[in-house]
Structure 1
Amino acid sequence: MKNPLANLMQQAQNMQENLKKAQEELAATQIAAESGGGLIKLTLNGKREILNLRIDDSLLTDDKEVLEDLIIAALNDGMRKVSKLKEEKLSGLAGGFELPAGLKLPF
């Protein structure tokens, strides 16, 4: 007969290893974001670090506030994309984690 606690511990260890692997993959992923129809482009990684920022030359003669707004819009686009990717990568990790019969958690 299998030990339910040992089985639970093995599942927890496997889930922890999968989580670490998913976090490493996410950190290495590069996400492209933009605003102003591509006038502002940036690349960030899964740790939300900006790796690259490109500003179209035509914006350098525009109003400073327009440039600031476009940069903020591009950053927000990138952050949303990272959050979505993180959710997708990490959502399936707990699947298959089975609790022993009768064990109830408070959440």
Structure 2
Amino acid sequence: MRDLMGMMKEMAGLKAKMEAMQAELDATLVEGRAGAGLVMVTLTAKGALRAVSIDPTLMKAEEKEILEDLIVAAHADARTRMESVIAEKTQGLMGGLPLPPGFKLPF
């Protein structure tokens, strides 16, 4: 019975840490770039789009498709960076708990 109580306390502590991490992820910004920085996208570490920056030189009608592709590429870059931030913070939070390979927490 003592082990069960200890595990319950540990789970309550883990829940508090998870809530704190969620708030931190919401405040953490990641930036993705494409076209040598001509297009930049800023996301929170939870995936919310916060900003898009486009260099004025790309604002030409004939550059429309290129601009669209660069926005998608910048977003993909930001998502990759976001996933790295989440993985890093989750690893610190979980403190070496053995999770199955490929298992991702729902953030």
TM-score, structure 1 normalization = 0.82
- Give the equivalent residue in structure 2 for 1:76: 76
Report the counterpart of residue 6 of structure 1 in structure 2. 5
**Residue deviations 1:7-53 (CA, integer Å, cap 9, x gap):** 11111111111111111101111112111001001211122111111
- Name 1:29's counterpart in structure 2: 28
Give 5+ residue unaligned stretches, structure 2. 98-107
Aligned length: 96
Q: What secondary structure sits across from 2:84 in the alignment?
A: helix
Structure 1 unpaired stretches of 5+: 98-107
Q: Do the aligned partners of residues 96 and 51 (structure 1) sit closer, same or farther apart at CA in structure 2, a change above 3 Å counting? A: closer
Aligned to 2:59: 60
- Specify the SS of the correspondent of 1:31: strand
- For 1:14 and 1:70, the matched residues in 2 are separated by 43
Q: 1 or 2 for the larger relative contact order (CA 8 Å, sep ≥6)?
A: 1
Superposition deviation, residue 92 in structure 1: 2.6
Q: 1:96 to 1:85 in 2, by over 3 A?
A: closer
TM-score, length of structure 2 as denominator length: 0.82
Bigger radius of gyration among the two: 1
- 1:19 counterpart residue number: 18
**Partner Cα distance (2:43, 2:96) in 1:** 32
> Between the two proteins, what is the percent identity of the paired residues?
33
Instruction: Give CA-to-partner distance per residue, 1:55-93, whole Å, 9 cap, x none.
Output: 101111242111111000000001111111011101232
The one-letter code of the counterpart of 1:63 is E
Rounded Cα–Cα distance in structure 2 between residues aligned with 1:87 and 1:55: 29
- Letter of the structure 2 residue corresponding to residue 6 of structure 1: M
Structure 2 CA distance for partners of 1:35 and 1:23, relative to 1, 3 Å: same
